[in-house]
Amino acid sequence: MRDGLGRLQRVVLLGGTSDIGRAIVDRVVATRGVAEVVLAGRDRDGLERGAAELTATGVAVSVVALDARDPGEVVAAAVDECLQAPTDVVVHAIGMLPHDDRDGVAPGLAAAVFDVNTTGSGVMLLAAARRLQDQGHGTLVALSSVAAVRARPDNLVYGAAKAGYDALARGLADQVRGSGARVLVVRPGFVHSSMTATHDVAPLARQPEDVAAAVDRALDRPDRPGATVVWVPAAMAAVALGIRLLPGRALAAAARRIADDPDADHHQGGASGNDAAADLGADPGARP
């Protein structure tokens, strides 16, 4: 719950080592006087380092173990642990980005991408949205990706997995509207992060701090249907429209031309990061 000056009191980051997720947390801590942060993820050492950095700024920090690959009941219980106290903002920044899948992704890797990006992450969104709805306030920030708009030939598995995630997040936004809680679906293009470090850079690429600034601004928007999706950069909305409307044959031909041009400025996975995030370029930053 915000205090008398409108400052946020408690923020939870699901994906505590995500580059984009941390950028968002750092931004709201700096601009909104956050008193407490919860970092959740599977990299204990990385979480502890992040906790030490935030503690040095005067913020109270706790760490919770969370792995998207665990059974649904275990994942949901971990999210409930994170949200056991009233929470103002929950940032979901967990994602897995395979490298170029124009030539196909191995079955095991494809299954892992869906397990992390769609199934496990979906359970987290459901659990977090339910808790925020029950408490009657709070914002769930879901780091999706422009890749979710259409699964392209050059990022088929990742795009399809993010499409499922994105659809669930938008549905939850409709479900909780009017309860006092809300959901923001963040769709970045390519974001420079540890998750995209081995991928070629795409046009309109941004830094995690750019995503954080966009999310920070969106937190002040009135909750209405047209304000659910946050594009980063804003011009990515027009790019996504073109991707959505382009005939399949033309889209495949464009992907082949990019693949055959070694000098082309492109990335090989369509992520965001959306990391975290995502992607959300994908993800959302590094996978926790």
- Per-residue pLDDT tens over the stretch 117-172: 999 999 999 999 999 999 999 999 999 998 888 887 778 899 999 999 999 999 99
Rounded Cα distance between 123 and 49, Å, is 27
**Segment 219-231, tens digit of pLDDT:** 998 887 777 999 9
Predicted pLDDT of residue 173: 96
At 40, which amino acid appears?
A
Q: Which residues of 128-164 are buried (b: 16+ CB within 10 A; e: fewer)?
A: bbbbbbebeebbbbbbbbbbbbbbbbbbbbbbbbbbb
pLDDT at 255 exceeding the cut of 70: no
**pLDDT at 71 (0 to 100):** 97
Given a cut of 90, whether residue 37 has pLDDT beyond it is yes
Reply yes or no on whether the pLDDT at 274 is more than 60: no
Please name each of the domains of the chain with its CATH number. 10-260 (3.40.50.720)
Of 57-66, 111-120, 214-223, 258-267, minimum mean pLDDT range = 258-267
Question: Residues 269, 196: contact at Cβ < 8 Å?
Answer: yes
The rounded distance, in Å, linking the Cα atoms of 153 and 254 is 10
Q: For 184-197, what is each residue's pLDDT tens digit?
A: 999 998 787 777 76
What pLDDT does 195 receive?
Answer: 74
* 83-96: average pLDDT: 96
The pLDDT-based confidence of 280 (bands split at 50, 70, 90) is: very low
Find all residues with CB under 8 Å of 91, minimum gap 6, and list them: 11, 12, 13, 14, 15, 21, 24, 25, 141, 143, 215
Instruction: Give me the phi and psi of 222, to 5 degrees please.
Output: -65, 145
Residue 275 clears pLDDT 70, i.e. is over it? no
- Cα–Cα distance for residue pair 288/240, rounded to 1 Å: 28
Mean pLDDT of 236-241: 76
Give the residue numbers annotated as catalytic, written as ranges.
158
For residue 249, the model assigns a pLDDT of 64
pLDDT (average), residues 1-8: 57
Given a cut of 90, whether residue 70 has pLDDT beyond it is: yes
Give 195-213 pLDDT, tens digit per residue.
776 666 766 777 899 999 9
Mean pLDDT of the residues in the chain: 83
19 or 242, which is more confident: 19
Global pTM value = 0.84
The pLDDT value recorded for residue 6 is 55
Q: What does the pLDDT read at residue 282?
A: 34
